[in-house]
Amino acid sequence: MKVDLFLIPNFLYLTFVTNTGTFWGLFSNINIFFMILSIIVLSLLIYIITVKTTLNKLNTILYSLVISGIIGNLIDRIIRGYVVDFIGIKIFNYNFPIFNFADIYIVIGVLLFILIGEKYETR
């Protein structure tokens, strides 16, 4: 593992990793598939929040997190041909997979949807 900069010694570090797959580098080298999938999911989410229903403030934030994460990774895939991951965490000599802010937004948005559920306001 090449660490470029430890922000918190032996815990949080910055490095540079290219990722043509999904989380943890799974399904590498099918970048075009993930670009198409991202566009489809992004279109579906935008459709849901603009046409289907009126969302409360919390769900607006959750959708915004997921959409922002998808757009961030999609821009990387289109411009670079891969996603740049750069944040690393090391706990008890275990290096978690490297990730980026877009991944954080997607994970937080999806986890909060699962934990608190999706609630709509009526029109």
pLDDT digits (tens, 9 = 90+) for 4-22: 899 999 899 999 999 887 7
| Both structure tokens of 96 | 């978690």
Q: What is the DSSP string of 73-104?
A: HHHHHHHHSSEEEEEEEEETTEEPPPB-HHHH
List the catalytic residues: 85, 103
Predicted TM-score (pTM) of this structure: 0.83
pLDDT in tens, 55-84: 788 888 899 999 999 999 999 999 999 999
